[in-house]
Amino acid sequence: MEPQISLWQVPPSRLHLPHKELHLWRFKLDMTDEQADGFRDILVAEELSRADRLRDRQKKNQFISARAHLRVILGEYLQVKPNQVQFQYNEFGKPSLSEQHQSSLSFNLSHSVQWGVLAVAKQMDVGVDVENIDTELGFSQLASSYFNDQEKLSLGQYSTVRKRRGFYRLWTRKEAQLKLLGAGFTISSGVNFHADVKAFQLRTFPIAYSYICSVAFKEIEQIKKIHFLDLRSYL
């Protein structure tokens, strides 16, 4: 059964996430230097160190924005201050909530150019990927290098006009599955990754003009509803 899907909504003042529902947040990454400086108090020392290693000012501010949004949103679910949200990381660097929170929430963050997307679920793993549709990208070469046979066949079924968007649909779905598993493209070269698509539920959405997003969760978890939340009031 297909899950119910809401329109983009301003989030409620108090967050509640029932089991078998998914919250998909979108937020803008761009911010001024002044705004970025104001959000530094939300981040911990390790995150600030990573930010300060970025020489490009825009990328630095976008990193701060992504981590600040992540902490603020998760803090609302956990009912703690943003800088009190604690993470633990797997061997590939994928974050999850620290065991000290004693929470069944899972999450996955993705960002591309101006937009960030955060998927939050309960008692289930989730993977998400968002991409800006680059009209200059030589996607055929990427597909040849990283798509498996089924993905190449699927891409070939798109018309010439729709092939670029079809590539991004397939790419974000592949990335979302890999992120759910825990490591993105570090799991393999991509060439040898043959995920059984039947093992996942996959949904693909437009996030904004020229942006496409896919979310993956395991087939055994039947999502009943997906809420689209447009972050406007927390930061």
Write the CATH number for 9: 3.90.470.20
Kindly report, residue by residue over 147-178, the tens digit of the pLDDT: 999 999 999 999 999 999 999 999 999 999 99
The per-residue pLDDT for 187 is 44
The per-residue pLDDT for 186 is 46
Q: What is the dihedral of CA 140, 202, 88, 37, to 10 degrees?
A: 70
The per-residue pLDDT for 192 is 40
Domain annotation covers residue 116: yes
Strands in 29-125 per DSSP E:
87-89, 95-97, 105-112, 115-122
The per-residue pLDDT for 191 is 38
Query: With a cut of 50, which residues of the chain have pLDDT below it?
Result: 186-194, 233
The boundaries of the domain holding residue 196 are 4-230
Domain annotation covers residue 235: no
The per-residue pLDDT for 134 is 96
Residue 224: which of 124, 97, 118 has the closest Cα? Answer: 124
Secondary structure of residue 48 in the 3-state scheme? helix
User: What pTM, to 2 d.p., does this model score?
Assistant: 0.89
Question: What total number of domains does the chain contain?
Answer: 1
Kindly report, residue by residue over 178-209, the tens digit of the pLDDT: 999 886 554 444 434 445 556 788 999 999 99
The per-residue pLDDT for 10 is 83
